[in-house]
Copies of this chain bind each other. A is one copy, B any other.
Amino acid sequence: MAAGQATAIAPANIAFIKYWGVLDSELTLPTNGSISMCLDRCTTETHVRFEEGLDRDEVLLDLYEGVERPAEGRAYERVVAHLDRLRAMAGVNLRARVRSRNSFPADAGIASSAAAFSALTVAGAAALGLNLSEQQLSVLARLSGSGSACRSIPDGFVEWINDGTSTGSYARSIAPPEHWQLCDIVAVVDVGAKQIASEAGHKLAFTSPYFPVRLQEIPERIERARRAILERDLATLGEVMEADAISMHTVAMTTRPPAFYWSAGTMAIIQAVRRWRDEGLACYFTIDAGPNVHVLCPVESAAEIEARLCLLPEVQFTIVNLAGPGARVVKVS
């Protein structure tokens, strides 16, 4: 086929029930299912163009402020490996120019790899003329190594299911974005904080004595979270989501060596959210593998809660999200 190009947009997602622990790191098969929401305001736009005459892939990252930087080292290699996967499927040998831009600050500590690799998957596949189902795209995004990228393919509220095989480990939509006007407010407390790579965390999980207990808890949490989403039951979703976040960080803090993702600001928000809830304000926290806190609340109280979050001295800025669409092609030629 001829050289093609395409642009895709894909969202970051916030997990209500976390992916933590990898069974097979070659295939990125997780130890457990997970449930998430696509974030409408935290997206990556990626342009992929396969060209004659390039002797290597070129990957440019636009770091939010219009400053472009070539991807390097491990980040570059992961992109190339993923392009190789797509090229192999299409039987194409051309190198590509990739340009990627986030809608949110790159140093915000928001896990952006899910958005990045789902956008790359969808743009790359479109540019190569591959006609793939949502399930196939989700499997492919997962194989990038950023497992949660598979959850950024479908729309809205999403579940990552697993049957033990690679083709059976993919995400599907539980409900579309418009099903529920639920807000996820990202409260950024540590801009540019050094992170412990979640890749390492997924492998270390097995060294925690609490990990087997967590795995036992997950199936019931998945059931409860799925039902709570379908019934728009924030109290149940919030309770289950907080318990799962604590359980994930409990595992992280008890691995050998332990991983402490929380900072002072993390704890300040956890305590504030609990206090506000005691005051009657419906809001619930969750925390990924980093210090920032996501606060879930009904859209009606988002302004109030965002204002309160911004008054906390530890909070640098916030991003208010609703559920959004999954990865989609916006231009192809």
Residue ranges of A at the interface with B (Cβ–Cβ < 8 Å): 209-210, 213, 216-217, 242-243, 246-247, 250, 253-254, 258, 260, 262-268, 270-271, 274, 314
Known contacts A209-B217, A217-B209, A254-B250; is A271 also within 8 Å of B260 by CB? yes
11 contacts between A and B (CB under 8 A): A209-B216, A209-B217, A210-B213, A213-B213, A246-B254, A250-B250, A250-B253, A260-B274, A262-B267, A264-B314, A267-B267
A188 to chain B, nearest CB (A): 15
- Give the distance to chain B from A255, nearest Cβ to Cβ, in Å: 10
Asked whether A263 lies within 8 Å of B267 as measured between CB atoms, the reply is: yes
State the CA gap A216–B174 with chains docked (Å): 39
Given contacts A246-B253, A246-B254, A254-B246, contact A260 B270 (CB under 8 A): yes
**A210 vs B263: C-alpha distance when bound (angstroms):** 23
Which has the most chain B C-beta neighbours within 10 Å: A216, A263, A264?
A: A264
**Interface of A (DSSP majority class):** helix
Residues from chain B with Cβ under 8 Å of A264 in the complex: 264-265, 267-268, 271, 314
Chain B: CB-nearest residue to A246 = B253
Closest 6 CB pairs of A and B: A264-B268, A264-B264, A267-B267, A250-B250, A264-B267, A246-B253
Q: What residues of chain B lie closer than 8 Å to A258, measured between beta carbons?
A: 242-243, 246
Q: How many copies does the complex hold?
A: 2
Known contacts A247-B254, A271-B263: does B209 contact A213 (CB below 8 Å)? yes
Q: How far is the CA of A274 from the CA of B261 in the complex (A)?
A: 12
Tell whether, in the assembled complex, residue B254 and residue A243 are in contact, meaning their CB atoms are under 8 Å apart. Answer: yes
Across the interface, which residues of B come within 8 angstroms of A262, CB to CB?
267
Measured between C-beta atoms, what is the minimum distance from A190 to chain B in Å? 10
**Cα-based distance from A250 to B242 in the complex (angstroms):** 13
Which chain B residue shows the least CB distance to A272? B264
Instruction: State how many angstroms separate the Cβ of A196 from the closest Cβ of chain B.
Output: 11
Q: How far is the CA of A131 from the CA of B270 in the complex (A)?
A: 51
Minimum C-beta distance from A295 to chain B (A): 15
Instruction: Please name the residue on chain B nearest to A258 by beta carbon.
Output: B246
Residues of B within 8 A of A209 (CB): 213, 216-217
Q: A209-B216, A246-B254, A267-B267 known; 15 other A-B pairs, CB under 8 Å?
A: A209-B217, A210-B210, A210-B213, A246-B253, A246-B258, A247-B254, A250-B250, A250-B254, A260-B270, A260-B274, A263-B268, A263-B271, A264-B264, A264-B267, A266-B267
Closest partner residue, chain B, to A209 (CB atom): B213
How far, in Å, is A310 (CB) from chain B's closest CB?
16
| Chain B residues within an 8 Å CB radius of A266 | 267
Chain B residues near A267 (CB, 8 Å)? Answer: 262-264, 266-267
CB proximity of A201 to chain B, nearest CB, Å:
16
Q: How far is the CA of A12 from the CA of B114 in the complex (A)?
A: 50
